Amino acid sequence: MTRPAKRVTSQDVARAAGVSRTTVSFVLNGKPGLTFPEETVNRVLDAARQLDYRPRASARALAAGRSDIVLLAVPDLPIGEGISRFIEELAAALAAHSLTLVTHLAGARSRPLPDVCATLEASVVTAVEYFSEEMAEALHRAGAQVVLPVQDSAPAMREIGRIQAEYLVSRGHRCLGYALPAGVAHAPMARQRLDGAAAACAATGIDRPVAVEVSLDAASAAQAVGDWRSRSVTGVCAFNDEVAMAVLAGARAHGLTVPTDMAVVGADDIPVARLAAPPLTTVAFDLHEAGRRRAEAIVAGLKNQETHPAMPALGPQVIRRESA
Protein backbone atom coordinates (compact mmCIF):
# COMPACT_ATOMS: atom_id res chain seq x y z
CA MET A 1 0.00 0.00 0.00
CA THR A 2 1.34 3.42 -0.96
CA ARG A 3 2.19 5.51 2.05
CA PRO A 4 0.36 8.86 2.06
CA ALA A 5 2.50 11.89 1.29
CA LYS A 6 3.74 13.90 4.24
CA ARG A 7 1.76 17.05 4.82
CA VAL A 8 3.61 20.22 3.82
CA THR A 9 4.32 22.50 6.78
CA SER A 10 5.16 26.16 7.15
CA GLN A 11 8.72 25.05 7.95
CA ASP A 12 8.93 23.49 4.47
CA VAL A 13 7.76 26.77 2.94
CA ALA A 14 10.26 28.73 5.03
CA ARG A 15 13.10 26.44 3.93
CA ALA A 16 12.13 26.74 0.25
CA ALA A 17 11.78 30.53 0.46
CA GLY A 18 14.92 31.03 2.52
CA VAL A 19 13.12 32.87 5.32
CA SER A 20 12.10 32.15 8.89
CA ARG A 21 8.94 30.25 9.82
CA THR A 22 7.71 33.39 11.58
CA THR A 23 8.06 35.37 8.36
CA VAL A 24 6.02 32.76 6.50
CA SER A 25 3.29 32.98 9.12
CA PHE A 26 3.20 36.77 9.03
CA VAL A 27 3.18 36.95 5.23
CA LEU A 28 0.51 34.30 4.68
CA ASN A 29 -1.74 35.52 7.50
CA GLY A 30 -1.39 39.21 6.72
CA LYS A 31 -0.14 40.26 10.16
CA PRO A 32 -1.44 43.82 10.80
CA GLY A 33 1.18 46.53 11.16
CA LEU A 34 3.99 44.52 9.57
CA THR A 35 5.35 44.96 6.07
CA PHE A 36 7.96 42.97 4.19
CA PRO A 37 9.95 43.67 1.03
CA GLU A 38 8.01 42.72 -2.07
CA GLU A 39 10.74 40.29 -3.07
CA THR A 40 10.37 38.45 0.27
CA VAL A 41 6.60 38.30 -0.03
CA ASN A 42 6.84 36.94 -3.57
CA ARG A 43 9.35 34.23 -2.50
CA VAL A 44 7.04 33.08 0.29
CA LEU A 45 3.96 33.05 -1.94
CA ASP A 46 5.77 31.25 -4.75
CA ALA A 47 7.11 28.61 -2.36
CA ALA A 48 3.68 28.07 -0.82
CA ARG A 49 2.12 27.71 -4.27
CA GLN A 50 4.78 25.32 -5.58
CA LEU A 51 4.58 23.15 -2.46
CA ASP A 52 0.75 23.27 -2.48
CA TYR A 53 0.88 24.43 1.14
CA ARG A 54 -2.36 24.71 3.10
CA PRO A 55 -2.18 26.14 6.63
CA ARG A 56 -3.77 24.08 9.36
CA ALA A 57 -7.08 25.40 10.58
CA SER A 58 -5.75 25.58 14.13
CA ALA A 59 -2.80 27.70 12.99
CA ARG A 60 -5.04 30.06 11.04
CA ALA A 61 -7.35 30.36 14.01
CA LEU A 62 -4.44 31.15 16.30
CA ALA A 63 -3.15 33.85 13.96
CA ALA A 64 -6.58 35.40 13.34
CA GLY A 65 -7.92 34.97 16.85
CA ARG A 66 -10.81 32.89 15.50
CA SER A 67 -11.56 30.08 13.07
CA ASP A 68 -12.90 30.58 9.56
CA ILE A 69 -15.75 28.10 10.14
CA VAL A 70 -19.36 29.21 9.75
CA LEU A 71 -21.72 26.50 10.98
CA LEU A 72 -25.15 26.47 9.32
CA ALA A 73 -27.97 24.65 11.11
CA VAL A 74 -30.34 23.15 8.54
CA PRO A 75 -33.83 22.15 9.76
CA ASP A 76 -34.75 18.48 9.91
CA LEU A 77 -37.21 18.59 7.03
CA PRO A 78 -37.03 17.80 3.32
CA ILE A 79 -34.31 20.01 1.83
CA GLY A 80 -35.97 21.54 -1.19
CA GLU A 81 -34.41 23.39 -4.08
CA GLY A 82 -35.01 26.75 -2.40
CA ILE A 83 -33.01 25.94 0.73
CA SER A 84 -30.31 24.25 -1.36
CA ARG A 85 -29.89 27.33 -3.50
CA PHE A 86 -29.74 29.57 -0.43
CA ILE A 87 -26.97 27.38 1.00
CA GLU A 88 -25.05 27.54 -2.28
CA GLU A 89 -25.34 31.33 -2.45
CA LEU A 90 -24.34 31.73 1.20
CA ALA A 91 -21.31 29.45 0.78
CA ALA A 92 -20.14 31.43 -2.26
CA ALA A 93 -20.62 34.78 -0.51
CA LEU A 94 -18.73 33.58 2.57
CA ALA A 95 -15.89 32.17 0.47
CA ALA A 96 -15.33 35.67 -0.88
CA HIS A 97 -14.50 36.65 2.72
CA SER A 98 -12.26 33.56 3.25
CA LEU A 99 -14.89 31.90 5.42
CA THR A 100 -15.88 28.23 5.12
CA LEU A 101 -19.49 27.08 5.42
CA VAL A 102 -20.22 23.76 7.16
CA THR A 103 -23.80 22.49 7.31
CA HIS A 104 -25.32 20.46 10.14
CA LEU A 105 -28.70 18.75 10.02
CA ALA A 106 -30.28 19.88 13.28
CA GLY A 107 -32.76 17.30 14.55
CA ALA A 108 -33.65 15.04 17.44
CA ARG A 109 -31.27 12.31 16.22
CA SER A 110 -28.34 14.66 15.62
CA ARG A 111 -25.67 15.82 18.01
CA PRO A 112 -26.68 18.91 19.95
CA LEU A 113 -25.74 22.01 17.98
CA PRO A 114 -23.60 23.53 20.79
CA ASP A 115 -21.55 20.30 20.87
CA VAL A 116 -20.96 20.51 17.11
CA CYS A 117 -20.04 24.18 17.44
CA ALA A 118 -17.48 23.40 20.13
CA THR A 119 -16.01 20.44 18.22
CA LEU A 120 -15.54 22.47 15.03
CA GLU A 121 -14.52 25.58 16.96
CA ALA A 122 -16.94 27.49 14.77
CA SER A 123 -16.69 31.27 15.00
CA VAL A 124 -20.20 31.72 13.62
CA VAL A 125 -23.39 29.72 13.90
CA THR A 126 -26.27 30.66 11.65
CA ALA A 127 -29.52 29.01 10.59
CA VAL A 128 -32.16 28.75 7.90
CA GLU A 129 -34.72 29.51 10.60
CA TYR A 130 -33.85 31.35 13.82
CA PHE A 131 -32.43 30.66 17.28
CA SER A 132 -34.15 31.10 20.60
CA GLU A 133 -32.36 33.26 23.15
CA GLU A 134 -31.57 30.14 25.17
CA MET A 135 -29.94 28.41 22.20
CA ALA A 136 -28.04 31.55 21.25
CA GLU A 137 -26.58 31.75 24.76
CA ALA A 138 -25.59 28.06 24.65
CA LEU A 139 -23.83 28.60 21.31
CA HIS A 140 -21.93 31.59 22.64
CA ARG A 141 -20.83 29.49 25.62
CA ALA A 142 -19.65 26.85 23.13
CA GLY A 143 -17.33 29.43 21.57
CA ALA A 144 -19.32 31.11 18.79
CA GLN A 145 -18.56 34.81 18.40
CA VAL A 146 -21.58 35.43 16.18
CA VAL A 147 -24.97 33.72 16.40
CA LEU A 148 -27.71 34.78 14.01
CA PRO A 149 -30.52 35.22 13.41
CA VAL A 150 -32.00 35.42 16.89
CA GLN A 151 -35.00 37.47 15.89
CA ASP A 152 -38.15 35.66 14.83
CA SER A 153 -38.09 34.66 11.15
CA ALA A 154 -41.83 34.02 11.18
CA PRO A 155 -42.77 37.35 9.54
CA ALA A 156 -40.70 36.51 6.45
CA MET A 157 -42.25 33.04 6.22
CA ARG A 158 -45.78 34.34 6.79
CA GLU A 159 -45.25 36.86 4.01
CA ILE A 160 -44.85 34.04 1.50
CA GLY A 161 -48.14 32.42 2.53
CA ARG A 162 -49.87 35.78 2.54
CA ILE A 163 -48.77 36.54 -1.02
CA GLN A 164 -49.86 33.11 -2.25
CA ALA A 165 -53.34 33.44 -0.76
CA GLU A 166 -53.81 37.06 -1.83
CA TYR A 167 -52.95 36.13 -5.39
CA LEU A 168 -55.54 33.34 -5.48
CA VAL A 169 -58.17 35.59 -3.90
CA SER A 170 -57.41 38.24 -6.52
CA ARG A 171 -58.15 35.61 -9.18
CA GLY A 172 -61.62 35.06 -7.73
CA HIS A 173 -61.04 32.05 -5.45
CA ARG A 174 -63.01 32.08 -2.21
CA CYS A 175 -62.25 28.62 -0.81
CA LEU A 176 -58.57 27.81 -0.51
CA GLY A 177 -56.49 24.80 0.43
CA TYR A 178 -52.96 24.63 1.80
CA ALA A 179 -50.65 21.76 0.83
CA LEU A 180 -48.32 20.98 3.73
CA PRO A 181 -45.21 18.81 3.28
CA ALA A 182 -45.94 15.35 4.65
CA GLY A 183 -44.18 14.43 7.86
CA VAL A 184 -43.36 17.99 8.91
CA ALA A 185 -46.84 19.46 9.27
CA HIS A 186 -45.85 21.08 12.53
CA ALA A 187 -42.43 22.34 11.42
CA PRO A 188 -42.14 26.07 12.10
CA MET A 189 -41.58 27.05 8.48
CA ALA A 190 -44.64 25.18 7.22
CA ARG A 191 -46.81 26.47 10.04
CA GLN A 192 -45.66 30.04 9.48
CA ARG A 193 -46.46 29.97 5.76
CA LEU A 194 -49.87 28.50 6.51
CA ASP A 195 -50.50 31.21 9.11
CA GLY A 196 -49.66 33.85 6.52
CA ALA A 197 -52.18 32.39 4.09
CA ALA A 198 -54.77 32.19 6.87
CA ALA A 199 -54.23 35.86 7.76
CA ALA A 200 -54.77 36.88 4.14
CA CYS A 201 -58.00 34.89 4.02
CA ALA A 202 -59.22 36.45 7.28
CA ALA A 203 -58.49 39.92 5.92
CA THR A 204 -60.82 39.29 3.00
CA GLY A 205 -63.52 37.62 5.07
CA ILE A 206 -63.11 34.05 3.83
CA ASP A 207 -62.43 30.85 5.77
CA ARG A 208 -58.98 29.65 6.79
CA PRO A 209 -57.35 27.45 4.11
CA VAL A 210 -58.06 23.73 4.37
CA ALA A 211 -54.64 22.32 5.28
CA VAL A 212 -53.78 18.81 4.06
CA GLU A 213 -50.47 16.95 4.09
CA VAL A 214 -49.20 15.96 0.65
CA SER A 215 -46.43 13.43 0.08
CA LEU A 216 -44.35 13.55 -3.07
CA ASP A 217 -46.25 10.70 -4.71
CA ALA A 218 -49.29 10.59 -6.96
CA ALA A 219 -51.50 8.55 -4.61
CA SER A 220 -51.06 10.91 -1.67
CA ALA A 221 -51.57 13.93 -3.89
CA ALA A 222 -54.71 12.44 -5.45
CA GLN A 223 -56.15 11.78 -1.99
CA ALA A 224 -55.44 15.37 -0.96
CA VAL A 225 -57.05 16.76 -4.10
CA GLY A 226 -60.10 14.57 -3.50
CA ASP A 227 -60.35 15.95 0.04
CA TRP A 228 -60.18 19.52 -1.22
CA ARG A 229 -62.73 18.88 -3.93
CA SER A 230 -65.17 17.48 -1.36
CA ARG A 231 -64.81 20.79 0.51
CA SER A 232 -65.25 22.95 -2.60
CA VAL A 233 -61.64 24.16 -2.66
CA THR A 234 -60.76 25.82 -5.97
CA GLY A 235 -57.31 27.25 -5.23
CA VAL A 236 -54.34 25.66 -3.43
CA CYS A 237 -51.28 27.28 -1.88
CA ALA A 238 -48.41 24.79 -1.63
CA PHE A 239 -45.57 24.89 0.89
CA ASN A 240 -43.04 24.81 -1.94
CA ASP A 241 -42.78 24.00 -5.63
CA GLU A 242 -42.10 20.30 -5.10
CA VAL A 243 -45.33 19.92 -3.12
CA ALA A 244 -47.15 22.07 -5.70
CA MET A 245 -46.08 19.74 -8.51
CA ALA A 246 -47.38 16.79 -6.51
CA VAL A 247 -50.72 18.63 -6.30
CA LEU A 248 -50.68 19.05 -10.08
CA ALA A 249 -50.21 15.28 -10.41
CA GLY A 250 -53.11 14.71 -8.01
CA ALA A 251 -55.31 17.00 -10.07
CA ARG A 252 -54.48 15.06 -13.23
CA ALA A 253 -55.37 11.82 -11.45
CA HIS A 254 -58.88 13.23 -10.91
CA GLY A 255 -59.13 14.43 -14.51
CA LEU A 256 -59.17 18.06 -13.41
CA THR A 257 -58.02 20.96 -15.54
CA VAL A 258 -55.57 23.36 -13.91
CA PRO A 259 -56.29 26.20 -13.32
CA THR A 260 -59.92 26.03 -14.44
CA ASP A 261 -60.98 23.37 -11.92
CA MET A 262 -58.23 23.97 -9.36
CA ALA A 263 -55.53 26.64 -9.33
CA VAL A 264 -52.15 25.92 -7.71
CA VAL A 265 -49.46 28.31 -6.45
CA GLY A 266 -46.05 27.12 -5.26
CA ALA A 267 -43.07 28.81 -3.61
CA ASP A 268 -39.32 29.01 -4.38
CA ASP A 269 -39.43 29.15 -8.21
CA ILE A 270 -37.16 26.14 -8.65
CA PRO A 271 -35.80 25.62 -12.18
CA VAL A 272 -38.23 22.81 -13.06
CA ALA A 273 -41.28 24.85 -12.01
CA ARG A 274 -41.54 26.29 -15.51
CA LEU A 275 -41.44 22.75 -16.94
CA ALA A 276 -44.40 21.49 -14.89
CA ALA A 277 -47.67 20.63 -16.62
CA PRO A 278 -48.97 23.29 -16.66
CA PRO A 279 -46.05 25.61 -15.84
CA LEU A 280 -46.23 26.51 -12.18
CA THR A 281 -47.23 29.88 -10.80
CA THR A 282 -45.02 30.44 -7.79
CA VAL A 283 -43.61 32.93 -5.29
CA ALA A 284 -39.96 33.77 -5.89
CA PHE A 285 -37.38 35.63 -3.83
CA ASP A 286 -33.83 36.70 -4.53
CA LEU A 287 -31.71 33.92 -3.06
CA HIS A 288 -28.48 35.42 -4.37
CA GLU A 289 -29.20 38.64 -2.51
CA ALA A 290 -30.29 36.70 0.56
CA GLY A 291 -27.00 34.79 0.66
CA ARG A 292 -24.98 37.95 0.09
CA ARG A 293 -26.76 39.88 2.82
CA ARG A 294 -26.47 37.02 5.31
CA ALA A 295 -22.73 36.82 4.58
CA GLU A 296 -22.41 40.59 5.09
CA ALA A 297 -24.20 40.28 8.43
CA ILE A 298 -21.79 37.51 9.48
CA VAL A 299 -18.71 39.50 8.47
CA ALA A 300 -20.05 42.58 10.27
CA GLY A 301 -20.66 40.51 13.38
CA LEU A 302 -17.09 39.20 13.34
CA LYS A 303 -15.93 42.83 13.21
CA ASN A 304 -18.19 43.64 16.18
CA GLN A 305 -20.39 45.80 14.00
CA GLU A 306 -24.17 45.98 14.19
CA THR A 307 -25.85 43.31 12.09
CA HIS A 308 -29.17 43.22 10.32
CA PRO A 309 -29.36 39.62 9.08
CA ALA A 310 -31.67 38.95 6.18
CA MET A 311 -33.81 35.87 6.02
CA PRO A 312 -33.98 33.74 2.84
CA ALA A 313 -37.19 35.42 1.71
CA LEU A 314 -36.31 38.82 0.30
CA GLY A 315 -38.78 40.82 -1.75
CA PRO A 316 -41.06 37.84 -2.53
CA GLN A 317 -43.13 38.25 -5.65
CA VAL A 318 -45.51 36.15 -7.69
CA ILE A 319 -44.15 34.62 -10.88
CA ARG A 320 -47.30 34.14 -12.89
CA ARG A 321 -47.53 31.11 -15.15
CA GLU A 322 -50.39 28.86 -16.28
CA SER A 323 -51.24 26.98 -13.07
CA ALA A 324 -53.10 29.89 -11.42
pLDDT by residue (tens digit) across 272-300? 999 999 999 999 987 778 888 889 889 98
Which sign does the torsion angle of CA 266, 269, 272, 273 carry?
positive
Task: Give the chain's length.
Answer: 324
As a whole number of angstroms, the distance between CA 32 and CA 226 comes to 67
In the predicted model, what is the mean pLDDT of the chain? 85
What local confidence, expressed as pLDDT, does residue 157 receive? 82
Q: Where are the domains of the chain?
A: 10-62, 69-152+287-310, 154-285
Least confident of 59-68, 194-203, 284-293, 307-316: 307-316
The CATH-assigned architecture of domain 10-62 is Orthogonal Bundle (1.10)
Q: What's the 3-state SS for the chain?
A: CCCCCCCCCHHHHHHHHCCCHHHHHHHHHCCCCCCCCHHHHHHHHHHHHHCCCCCCHHHHHHHHCCCCEEEEEEECCCCCHHHHHHHHHHHHHHHCCCCEEEEEEECCCCCCHHHHHHHHCCCEEEECCCCCHHHHHHHHHCCCCEEECCCCCHHHHHHHHHHHHHHHHHCCCCCEEEEEECCCCCCHHHHHHHHHHHHHHHHCCCCCCEEEEECCCHHHHHHHHHHHHHCCCCEEEECCHHHHHHHHHHHHHCCCCCCCCCEEEEECCCHHHHHCCCCCEEEECCHHHHHHHHHHHHHHHHCCCCCCCCCCCCCCEEECCCCC
Q: Summarize the confidence of residues 73-90 as an average pLDDT.
A: 77
Least confident of 44-58, 100-114, 226-240, 244-258: 44-58
Cis amide bond preceding 278, omega within 30? yes
Parallel/antiparallel/unpaired status of strands 281-284 and 317-319 = antiparallel
Selected from 3.10.20.30, 3.40.640.10, 3.40.50.2300, 2.60.40.10, the CATH number assigned to the domain covering 69-152+287-310 reads: 3.40.50.2300
Looking at residue 125, its amino acid is V
Confidence of residue 313 (pLDDT cuts 50, 70, 90): very low
* Residue 14 or 130, more confident: 14
The CATH-assigned architecture of domain 154-285 is 3-Layer(aba) Sandwich (3.40)
154-285: same fold as 69-152+287-310? yes
- In this predicted structure, the answer to whether residue 231 has a pLDDT above a threshold of 60 is yes
pTM value is 0.67
What local confidence, expressed as pLDDT, does residue 314 receive? 52
- In this predicted structure, the answer to whether residue 257 has a pLDDT above a threshold of 60 is yes
* Residue 9 or 251, more confident: 251
pLDDT by residue (tens digit) across 112-142? 899 999 999 899 999 877 788 888 999 999 9
The answer to whether 129 and 188 have CB atoms below 8 angstroms apart is: yes
